[in-house]
Each structure stands twice: as structure tokens, then as C-alpha cells.
A and B are shown apart, each in its own frame.
Chain A
Amino acid sequence: MADTEYALEARGIGKRFGEFWAVNNVDLKVRRGAIHALIGPNGAGKTTCFNLLTKTLQPSTGKIILDGEDISRLRTSDVAKKGMVRSFQISATFTDLTALQNVRVALQSSHGSAWRFWSPISSIYKLNERAEDLLEQVGLADARDMKAAELSYGKKRALEIATTLALEPKVMLLDEPTAGMGHEDIEPITELIRKVSRDRTIVIVEHNLSVVSTLSDRITVLQAGQVLMEGNYAEVSSDERVIAAYLGGVDDAA
């Protein structure tokens, strides 16, 4: 089962909001171990795709296959347990918890301690070491005891990646991990993504094309909820339709 060529597959997934198809009959094949980028103009349906893949939203049509197993009917939490975990476009940290606690919450997911309302918190201090490791990896060692709310935007994004990594996902979905980051933050995050991609599959939504070009093995372009094309960076960036779609997207936004 774990030997299928594709870690993640979507077959004809779609999502309808009222009369509007935000995602329409999308096929996606993500090769095991690859970094697969999902790009497209604003409102193309990238985030909605992520919502469907992780079952945050119930697809109106189609099937989702993770590691050869149909997960279309699972709930979000079970998708996470199966090894596919996402990050969010809008920074999703636990604002009143410290950086360490943020990561520790994720570590508790597979630790089985989460129900113990009678145990002192010191009973899970054994998770701290792993949490500190993860914070260190994303460059947040110094922020260990700071509340997430007090972190800069870039650091919140980094914390989110550490939290996602804590689940050791086989497939990691990153929704615009560098959005809103300053130049000095983008480089290390890109490096980090490359580093953690070694033993896992990554799908990344990203507007920063230099990040896309350095990271991705494969790119799927979405437009108006549908797949416009798929290819490597050279193919995609030279495609007339893609260029037109991006210009069109800019027009829409204006």
C-alpha cells in the first residue's frame, strides 16, 4: 500500500457554494517524496482544494486517495491521523499559549495524554525536549516561552510549520507559508521546507514565484476552480495561458 507511486491523489474533486463551483472537477497526482506546487490567481480555489483534501470541507464531488486508500469519507482529525496535515493561509497559532505549548499540543495528538484532566502538566514535560527540537529547527529556540500572540508575523508562520511538523506528517500541505514575510524570513523558511521535504511529500500553495521555482518538482496551475495545466517550472512559466491567467487575476483583483 505504501509503495504506490503517488502519495496523494484527487480524482475529480469539486466544491459548490450555492450555484458557484469554487473547485470544479480537479484531478491531482502528487508523486511520493515530491514538492508539488499549487499556484493560480487569487480566488482560483487553491485554499478550497486544501480544505477538500484535508476534509475541512466535504467535497461535493470526487474522491481523495491517500497512500492508495480512499479517505473521501474520513473526518479531518482522522485524515491527520493518517498522516496528512496542513497549515493555514491565515496564521493559525494558539495565541494565548507559548510557542512551546503550541508545539506540545500537536505532540499530544499521538501521545495519548490529551484526555488526562487529572494529571499535572509536568506529566507531559517529557514532550518538551522534542518540542524544543522542533522550535530550534524553525529558528524559534529563543521564543520558547513567548506567547504566540507576541510573536512577529514571520515567527508565527514558522511556529505553525513547527506545529505541523510535530505530527511527523507523511504528506504536508502548506498554504502560502511565506505570505506576508519579510525577505530575511523567506530564505530560511524555504530552506526549512526543502530540508523537511527529504522524507515526506509536500504540497505547497505559494504566490512567491521564486520560492516556487526553487522548491517545486511539479506545478499544477489552477484557474477559476479548474486545472489549467501541469508541468515543471520551465513549462509552466513559459505557457501563454498561465501568463494570461496571472494577468487576468491581477485585473480581477484591481
Chain B
Amino acid sequence: MRIALVLTGIALSLAAPFFVYPVLLMTILCFVIFAASFNLLLGYAGLLCFGQAMFLGLSAYMTGLMLKTTGMSIELAILASALISAALGAFVGFVAVRRSGIQFAMITFAFAQFVYFLLLQSEFTGGEDGMQGIPRSNLFGIFDISDSMTFYYFVLAATLLVILLVYRIVHSPFGEILQAIRDNEVRVESLGFRPERFKILAMTISAGLAGLAGGLKATVFGFATLTDVSWTVSGEVILMTLLGGLGTLSGPMVGAGIIIVMNDELAQFGEWALIAQGIILILVILFMRRGVVGEAGALIRRIRSRKAN
């Protein structure tokens, strides 16, 4: 059943660009990665980072800078930028993980605002105008993937790799400790672990993945803007995660898809997009605690157990 779902998903995503505008699809994929990175923190380590956009945005600018000023191949530029974001994540983690709950959220938020300010003031980012004309250099320095259709498959491959990686991390010895920390940090400490170190590593990995999303996004659109670093994007990823289902692997990815498509559909109505997001958030919190995927899973289990009886 699960395998069938996964295979259908892959088949659909392979065929999708023939039916749907590839840039929209690629945007969804970037946010799938971004949401997965956030879910690793909130869903599995219990850390509410309210500044996830700093990792996305910083890496977007870094990727842009490298592609514009050096002849780096595209995958190297994105990877290097993701590493820079990971380093930022390690640093923010180092400062913030001793705090928990709302304090942790506030510290990460403060860092994100600071990064926003730095990028706004920096010359190379183009300030308010953003960084334009980011080229798509050759993959591995040889393959031309600049055409949208080809590029889509590159982004898709990257996304699938990230999903596999997150799956592996969540179902690893480390992942088990992380979940234990989420459930009861004091107990984990009393068993001889240093929870703060595990949380720093989780922050580092999560920031790196968010950076990957940012680098891809910059090459998808060919530009990077301050929006990518803004707190609205940090908030949006929380919405995606809750809407899809916290702590389920696929939930946040589904949530990312729904929000991006909705933003796209509602774009013509301007402010209304935001209001619609707010209303959805309220409805989800009130009626779908487990998110779309979580509720669907619960429904299936209920039907099954009824059949079994």
C-alpha cells in the first residue's frame, strides 16, 4: 500500500511537467524540501525554529553570488551554499538550544531578523531590488540543463534524494535519540546523553537542507529576493507543516504542495491570499489537529479496524 503510493507519486511527478507549468512544480519541490527540513526540527526534535527562512534565503543569495561571479558548476554552487547555511544553523543552534519552547523560537527569530538586515544592507544582494539574472550553469560542468523541462528533472532528483535522506535520518539511531529528546529531554540527559549536542546537529542538518531548498529556488527563478529571508516565509513553513501533519514524513510535503498551489491560485486576489492562509490555519488547528496526512491515516486505520471486526 505504502510502496504503491510512493510509486504513484514518483510516476506522477515524472509526468507532471507535461501537464503543469514546470516553474510551479519546481517551486512546490523547493518548498517540499524546505518543509521537510523544518519538520525534522519541529516534528522529530521538538524544536520550533521561527527563523527557518534565514537558511533558505542566505543560501539562495550565496548560490546566486557564486553562479554570477564564478564559473562553478550548478550542483557545487548549491551544495557549497547549503554548507554555508548549515554552518549558520550550527551557530544559531549553539546559541539557542539550551533554551526551549518559546524562548528558542524567539532567539531563532531574532537571528533571522539579523540575517535579513545584513542581507538588506549588503551591496552584493542588490538590497530591496534583490539579486537578478542568476544563471543556470552546467551540471557537473558538462550537461546543459538550463531548459525548464530538463531543469525540472534535476530539481526532482534533488528532492527525491533529500526525501530519502530525511527518511534515513528519522529512522536512524540518531533519529531515535532525537525523538526521545522531543518526548523528555531531562530523562535523556539522565541516561548519559548531552541533548544539546544532538539538537545542534539536528539544527545543522535542518539548516543545510533548507539551504539546499534555497539554492535550488534561486536557480529555478533566476533571482533571489529578501522575501526568501523574511519572517513570512518562516511562518509559511510552519503553516505547511501543521497543515500537512506534524511529525509525519509526508505531511509537511503535502502541506507545502497545498500552500504553494493555493498561493498561486490566489495571487490574483492580492491580500486575500494571506487572509485565506490565516483562515486555513485556524480551521486546521480547530478541526484537523493531525493535519491532512495525519487525519487521512487515522481515517484509514479506522476503516480497517471496522472491516476487521
A residues bordering B, Cβ < 8 Å? 54, 56, 75-78, 80-81, 85-86, 88, 92-97, 101-102, 104-106, 108-110, 113-121, 123-124, 163, 167
Contacts and interface: CB of A to CB of B under 8 A. Distances in A.
A19 to B, nearest CB: 26
Interface of chain B: mostly helix, strand, loop or mixed = helix
B187 interface: yes
A114 B193 contact: yes
B173 A123 contact: yes
Contacts of B176: 97, 101, 104-105, 108, 121, 124
A80 B192 contact: yes
Given A76-B189, A94-B187, A95-B183, A113 B173 contact: yes
Contacts of A114: 173-174, 177, 193, 198
A249 B106 CA distance: 42
A168 B241 CA distance: 40
Contacts of B189: 56, 76-77, 80
Nearest to A160: B187
B172 A118 contact: yes
B172 A116 contact: yes
Contact of A97 (B168, B172, B179): B179
Contacts of A85: 190-192
Contacts of B186: 56, 88, 92
Nearest 7 pairs of A and B residues by beta carbon:
A80-B192, A117-B174, A94-B183, A109-B192, A92-B187, A113-B173, A94-B180
Interface in B156-213: 168-169, 171-177, 179-180, 182-184, 186-194, 198, 201, 205
A120 B168 CA distance: 6
Contacts of B198: 114
A118 B167 CA distance: 10
Interface of B: 168-169, 171-177, 179-180, 182-184, 186-194, 198, 201, 205, 247
Contact of B192 (A96, A110, A113, A115): A110
B199 to A, nearest CB: 13
Contacts of B168: 117-118, 120
Given A94-B179, A94-B183, A117-B205, A80 B172 contact: no
Contacts of B191: 77, 80, 85, 105-106, 109, 163, 167
Given A77-B194, A85-B191, A96 B183 contact: yes
